[in-house]
């Protein structure tokens, strides 16, 4: 869609994004597919085999479906879509089993009524390849690696940034800037924004290694994660990629010795692994004091940091990119009001706070504090010890691997864009997701046909802008609301669906869905003042 603001011509690009990890790339895709011009700069080469995130969760996969990239992601998964996403607890890889969680993170293929796409266990660098390929194919997006942000100034009309790359320094003028540059964000530092909370909750080490044939050297079931509970080598490990590549991690205090010796201890096998990388990281519980200053925004790890337990981090940042991306595009196109960008922090910060709290709770139970006497013993004493640990694990860790209520069950209850008078639709318990069409919630999903391909999901009917669901076969029309959207220049799609199941899910005859698939309004009658409704949901007050 053509940008409407005449001041765009004075800028090199609409949006400058600092950071080309998943969050920056997702923001570029959300913006680029809506017609914005984007420059992404990344200080590093983004190469290497460090696993970082390994779960692309169901919500992120729904966005990938919307972008037309889900098949490309599935094709990149090193072990295929049918590999079991089991999390197995044992004493050592070649030791005694304790307990297991099947279908952790909801990676099992097939139709599930609760979501349009199952999660995918895949190394983050594989996801980045999919996102990068798509970004590079968009004519309005330019991506530059080995290019640093040195400084910037911002005013009421835009941002002027100084970049340093292989060809020297350059100045770039953009309407907006997004800092998606991670935990040590340069953008956040230059703005002088503090992180609030607790740092240094734990110090940890991640090792990537190669060991031919390791998957056949033990008797445990195939799994994506093995939590190894013992006194001398507590660890979490699992297969990472093809070529016999594995990851193993644990507290630095337990991994201070030679990594090969530690891996032998954790696996209980006399092996000679090839060490590919060793990376240390710290767990934090931090939120930025604010996410915006003028035309500069923070997203992803630049504004929230938490332990990786639960697989939330990267996915949470991609959610930031989606929320901010459609709102920036709407503002650039002229139909987004002044309140649209103000809503970004008001919507996302409560979600961040909840996820941080969940991750910290999950972080409290790790392999190094699960060990009990006799955990590896033979006979009744050993059996009793392992049964006790299994009970503790099932109590403490179930919400970490069955967390659909966190991934899908949040609500933008404090958003100024939401038209709601019901007061229902509170956040779900992590392991008990119940779809709700209360305004602010993610729109309930439904399957409309067999299979999971394009056209089978209700989401496939939604347009790129706002979508009005008319959920009966009455003669009522939405002409007034459609006309109001046209006056605002707001993209608007009407979907008429006489489906009792969908009507029951939404609990109303009408539901207005935002570009990010969240419910903006619902009712049993057309809005009495369509103009006022459109103004509210598009940030005009």
How much is the pLDDT for 256? 72
| Whether residue 433 sits in one domain with residue 311 | no
Instruction: With respect to residue 311, please indicate whether it lies within any of the assigned structural domains.
Output: yes
Q: SS3 letters for 271-305?
A: CCCEEEEEEEEEEEEEEECCCEECCEEECHHHCEE
Determine contact, residues 436/425, Cβ cutoff 8 Å. yes
141 strand-pairing partners = 38
* CA pair distance 26, 319, nearest whole angstrom: 9
Q: What are phi and psi of 303, to 5 degrees?
A: -125, -5
Structural domain contains residue 183: yes
Indicate whether 344 and 440 sit together in one domain: no
Residues 68 and 154 in one domain: yes
Instruction: List Cβ neighbours of 89 (8 Å cut-off, separation of 6 or more).
Output: 97, 98, 99, 100, 226, 227, 229, 389, 390, 393
**pLDDT at 1 (0 to 100):** 42
pLDDT for 7: 42
Retrieve residue 498's tokens. Answer: 């006489």
Which of these, 88, 86, 87, 91, lies nearest to 370 by C-alpha position?
A: 91
Regarding whether 461 and 352 lie in a shared domain, the answer is: no
Q: Do 66 and 144 have their domain in common?
A: yes
- pLDDT at site 3: 45
Distances (CA, A) of 167 to 11, 144, 164: 21, 11, 8
Of 363, 383, 403, the residue at which a domain comes to its end is 363
Asked if 194 and 291 count as a contact pair (C-beta separation under 8 A), the reply is no
- In whole angstroms, give the CA distance from residue 483 to residue 485: 5
- Does residue 163 form part of some domain? yes
User: What is the token pair recorded at 97?
Assistant: 């089993």
Q: In terms of residue numbers, what domain contains 495?
A: 416-537
**3-class DSSP assignment, residue 60:** helix
**39 and 140, same domain (yes or no):** yes
Q: Are residues 48 and 152 in the same domain?
A: yes
CATH of the domain at 448: 3.40.30.120
* Sheet containing 519-523, strands listed edge to edge, beginning at the edge strand earlier in sequence: 492-496, 466-470, 510-513, 519-523
Number of domains in the chain: 2
SS (H, E, C) 221-276: CCCCEEEECCCCCCEEEEEEECCCEEEEEEEHHHCCCCHHHHHHHHHCCCCCCEEE
- State residue 532's pLDDT score: 95
Q: Are residues 350 and 439 in the same domain?
A: no
Looking at the structure, do residues 141 and 289 belong to the same domain, yes or no?
yes
Q: Provide the token pair at 526.
A: 């057309």
Count of H helices and E strands in the chain? 13, 22
Decide if 484 is inside a domain: yes
The domain that contains 169 carries what CATH number? Answer: 3.50.50.60
Look at residue 212 and tell me if it is in a domain. no
Q: What is the per-residue pLDDT for 166?
A: 87
Q: Looking at the structure, do residues 359 and 432 belong to the same domain, yes or no?
A: no
Q: Are strands 195-210 and 274-288 parallel, antiparallel or unpaired?
A: antiparallel
| Residue 527 to residue 293: CA distance in whole angstroms | 35
Domain annotation covers residue 240: no
5, two tokens: 């603001």
pLDDT tens-digit profile, the chain (541 residues): 444 444 444 889 999 999 999 999 999 999 999 999 999 999 988 766 666 789 999 999 999 999 999 999 999 999 999 999 999 999 999 999 999 999 999 999 999 999 999 999 999 999 999 999 999 999 999 999 999 999 999 999 999 999 999 889 999 999 999 999 999 999 999 999 999 999 999 999 999 999 999 999 999 999 999 999 999 999 999 999 999 999 999 888 877 778 999 999 999 999 999 999 999 999 999 999 999 999 999 999 999 999 999 999 999 999 999 999 999 999 999 999 999 999 999 999 999 999 999 999 999 999 989 999 999 999 999 999 999 999 999 999 999 999 999 999 999 998 999 976 554 556 777 778 999 999 999 999 999 999 999 999 999 999 999 999 999 877 577 888 999 999 999 999 999 999 999 999 999 999 999 999 999 999 999 899 999 999 999 999 8
Judge if 345 and 436 occupy the same domain. no
- Residue 185 domain-assigned? yes
Do 63 and 155 lie in one domain? The reply is yes
Residue 411 in 3-state DSSP?
strand
Phi and psi based region of residue 405 (left: phi greater than 0; alpha: psi -120 to 50; beta: remaining): alpha
CB–CB of 522/418 below 8 Å? Answer: no
Task: For residue 179, give both structure tokens.
Answer: 């800092």
DSSP 530: H
**Structure-derived torsion over alpha carbons of residues 258, 264, 270, 271, reported in degrees to the nearest 10:** -70
DSSP state of 83: S
Residue 92 lies in a domain: no
Question: Counting Cβ atoms within 10 Å, is residue 346 exposed (0-12), middle (13-18) or buried (19+)?
Answer: middle
């Amino acid at each position: 869609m053509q940008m409407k603001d005449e001041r765009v011509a004075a800028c090199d690009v609409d949006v400058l994004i600092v950071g080309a990890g998943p969050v920056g790339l997702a923001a570029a895709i959300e913006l680029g597919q809506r017609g914005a011009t984007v420059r992404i700069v990344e200080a590093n080469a983004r190469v290497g085999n460090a696993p970082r995130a390994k779960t692309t969760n169901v919500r992120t996969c729904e966005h990938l479906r919307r972008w037309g990239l889900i098949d490309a992601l599935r094709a990149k998964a090193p072990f295929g879509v049918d590999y079991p996403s089991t999390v197995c607890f044992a004493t050592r890889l070649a030791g005694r089993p304790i307990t297991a969680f099947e279908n952790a993170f909801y990676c099992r293929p097939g139709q599930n009524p609760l979501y349009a796409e199952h999660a995918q266990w895949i190394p983050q660098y594989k996801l980045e390849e999919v996102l990068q390929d798509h970004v590079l194919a968009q004519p309005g997006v330019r991506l530059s690696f080995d290019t640093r942000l040195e400084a910037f100034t911002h005013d009421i009309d835009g941002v002027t940034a100084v970049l340093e790359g292989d060809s020297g320094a350059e100045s770039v003028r953009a309407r907006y800037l997004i800092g998606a540059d991670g935990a040590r964000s340069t953008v956040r530092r230059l703005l002088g924004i503090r992180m609030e909370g607790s740092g240094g909750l734990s110090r940890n080490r991640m090792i990537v290694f190669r060991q031919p044939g390791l998957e056949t050297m033990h008797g445990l079931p195939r799994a994506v994660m093995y939590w190894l509970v013992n006194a001398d080598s507590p660890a979490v490990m699992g297969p990472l990629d093809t070529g016999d590549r594995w990851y193993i991690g644990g507290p630095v205090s337990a991994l201070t010795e030679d990594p090969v010796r530690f891996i032998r201890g954790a696996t209980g096998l006399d092996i000679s692994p090839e060490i590919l990388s060793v990376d240390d990281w710290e767990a934090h519980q931090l939120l930025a004091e604010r996410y915006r200053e003028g035309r500069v925004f923070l997203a992803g790890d630049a504004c929230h940091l938490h332990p990786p337990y639960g697989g939330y981090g990267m996915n949470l940042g991609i959610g930031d990119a989606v929320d901010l991306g459609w709102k920036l595009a709407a503002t650039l196109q002229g139909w987004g009001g002044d309140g649209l960008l103000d809503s970004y922090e008001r919507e996302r910060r409560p979600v961040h706070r909840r996820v941080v709290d969940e991750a910290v709770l999950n972080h409290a139970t790790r392999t190094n504090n699960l060990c009990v006497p006799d955990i590896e013993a033979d006979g009744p004493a050993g059996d009793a010890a392992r049964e006790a640990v299994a009970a503790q694990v099932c109590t403490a860790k179930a919400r970490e691997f069955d967390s659909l209520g966190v991934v899908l069950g949040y609500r933008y209850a404090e958003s100024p864009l939401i038209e709601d008078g019901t007061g229902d639709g509170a956040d779900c318990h992590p392991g008990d997701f119940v779809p709700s069409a209360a305004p602010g919630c993610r729109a309930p999903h439904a399957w409309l046909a067999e299979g999971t391909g394009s056209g089978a999901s209700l989401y496939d009917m939604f347009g790129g802008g706002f979508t009005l669901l008319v959920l009966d076969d009455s003669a009522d029309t939405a002409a007034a609301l459609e006309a109001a959207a046209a006056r605002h220049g707001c993209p608007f799609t009407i979907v008429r669906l006489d489906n009792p199941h969908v009507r029951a899910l939404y609990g109303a005859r009408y539901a207005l869905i935002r570009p990010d698939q969240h419910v903006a309004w619902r009712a049993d009658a057309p809005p009495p003042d369509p103009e006022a409704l459109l103004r509210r949901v598009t940030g005009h007050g």
